[in-house]
Amino acid sequence: MCICQDDYDDWERESARMLSVYANAYLTINASKGNDSSSGLFYKSSTREYFEFEHTYGGIRGRALACEVPFEEAMQHAYIQLKDDPVSHRGWTLQERVLSRRTLFYSGGQMMFECNHGFRKEDGWAIDGRFPRISSQPQMVSNDQTKDTDLSVSTSELLRSWYQLLATYGGRKLTKPSDKLPAVSGLASIMAERLNDEYVAGHWRSLLITELPWQPGDCKRVPEYRAPSWSWASVDGGIGIRLKGSGYSPLAEVLDVKVNLKGTNPYGEVTEGRLLIQGPMQRLCLSTEGWDPDRPRLSSKGSLVLCTTSTYLETRPQYDFDAFADDRPRLERKFVQSLDGLELYALILLACSHGEDHYIALMIGREQGSGEYRRVGILTLTDETLGWKPGEQRKGERPIITLI
């Protein structure tokens, strides 16, 4: 694999080969401690200090060695992430690690080896586990993408793996922000084959209603367009998608999806994405009365207040910006400014039957005089706060809108 970075056609063609290259490699060598391509592999080794003591086990008495283990190393899942190594903070390296069957890491102080059977360090530390993979990921992927289906893995297991990887990927850095979708295109192609589903700007066509209310974490919108507002790929930072079980029933329906690709890779960059969706809607208002973005968020005092036309909502929406960032006041002001001139609505997607009936909705905005809406957050609603039951609204009465 050789990529000419300044030639888009070559870049798209070669980057799309990452799946076959890494999945078919016998061994991947990873300079995980390197900050750039000139850093090399070798670093000064660090050694553990061992303590010798008498020990009896199973009737056998002898001398044993013990060492202090940093707390993070005792937390196996956290340690496998190698979060102190620069390579673990880069976007493209996620699928390189996931796709590789065996990886030799040159980390700070020692080498590490990872395969499907475990994770081993040069000093003897061993973990019976590895970095998350896509369930049912093929052990070999041929260049002609020959199918290697494992029917024993359920759809829910596949999706759980995919959502876990997206959560890991969200906060990773990209030199080119436009690489957000291409940098996981190899993983997406495996998932598309396993799910037998259409990939639309980071989501699965048949699962859009349950995936659209992805949860924003420490995220922020990017200034340059790279994905529609309804896609997780439109933000940088952590996001979460929950697997919706049998307790949820859809109240909205996606009638049509149109996604325009920049190139030929169906899992790569997009230039536009539109959803034609029908579902119950509720007009919302954002009240800034008493709003104080500089007030510490130890309580709801000073927070933005969301209300319907008749009542204040007790629920606290999750807006699409990082509400816990050090510069939250600035981000909050910027977010409120972005809503200027927008008509706000709740697009009710799902009804939950666990305990008290409540609904999961997108918070969307429409520019005055426009028929198009964009996502600005998510929220939960109840019959009581709405003053009506969305589930009882006839389908013909539900609005049809375009979400961009």
pLDDT by residue (tens digit) across 162-189?
Answer: 999 999 999 899 999 999 999 999 999 9
- Domain membership of residue 6 (yes or no) is no
Q: Are residues 210 and 122 both part of a single domain?
A: no
Q: Which residue has the higher pLDDT, 25 or 44?
A: 25
- Domain membership of residue 7 (yes or no) is no
Amino acid at 137: Q
Q: Are residues 154 and 274 both part of a single domain?
A: no
Q: Are residues 94 and 184 both part of a single domain?
A: yes
Q: Are residues 121 and 226 both part of a single domain?
A: no
Q: Are residues 214 and 357 both part of a single domain?
A: yes
Containing structural domain, residue 395: 206-404
Q: Which residue has the higher pLDDT, 332 or 289?
A: 332
Taking 3-state DSSP, the helix, strand and coil percentages for the chain, each rounded to the nearest 5, stand at: 25, 30, 45
Pairing mode, if any, of strands 372-382 and 358-367?
antiparallel
- Domain membership of residue 309 (yes or no) is yes
CA 298 to CA 399: how far, in whole Å?
Answer: 38
pLDDT-derived band at 141, boundaries 50, 70, 90: very low
Q: Are residues 173 and 249 both part of a single domain?
A: no
Q: From residue 218, how far is each of 3, 172, 210, 227, 325 by CA, in Å?
A: 32, 12, 21, 18, 7
Q: How many helices (H) and strands (E) does the chain have?
A: 10, 23
- Domain membership of residue 160 (yes or no) is yes
- Domain membership of residue 108 (yes or no) is yes
Q: Are residues 217 and 187 both part of a single domain?
A: no
pLDDT by residue (tens digit) across 353-373?
Answer: 765 678 999 999 998 778 899
User: What confidence score (pLDDT) does residue 138 get?
Assistant: 44
Q: Would the pLDDT of 300 be above 60?
A: no
CA 229 to CA 317: how far, in whole Å?
Answer: 17
- Domain membership of residue 2 (yes or no) is no
Instruction: Render 79-107 in DSSP notation, one character per residue.
Output: HHT-TTSGGGGBSTHHHHHHH-SSEEEE-
Q: Would the pLDDT of 45 be above 60?
A: yes
User: What confidence score (pLDDT) does residue 213 get?
Assistant: 96
Q: Which of 196, 218, 237 represents a domain boundary (last residue)?
A: 196
Q: Are residues 211 and 188 both part of a single domain?
A: no
Q: Which of 162, 196, 230 represents a domain boundary (last residue)?
A: 196
Q: Are residues 27 and 47 both part of a single domain?
A: yes
Q: Are residues 249 and 389 both part of a single domain?
A: yes
User: What confidence score (pLDDT) does residue 46 get?
Assistant: 66
Q: Are residues 235 and 121 both part of a single domain?
A: no
**Residue bearing tokens 């028929």:** 371
- Domain membership of residue 100 (yes or no) is yes
CA-wise closest residue to 215 among 190, 242, 249, 193:
242
| 366-378 core/surface letters (b: 16 or more CB in 10 A; e: else) | beeeeeebbbbbb
Q: Which of 144, 175, 196 represents a domain boundary (last residue)?
A: 196
State phi, psi for 158 to the nearest 5 degrees: -60, -45
pLDDT by residue (tens digit) across 201-244?
Answer: 999 999 999 999 999 888 888 889 999 999 999 999 989 998 87
**Residue bearing tokens 């041929």:** 142
Q: Are residues 83 and 130 both part of a single domain?
A: yes
Q: Would the pLDDT of 155 be above 80?
A: yes
- Domain membership of residue 73 (yes or no) is yes
Q: How many domains does the chain have?
A: 2
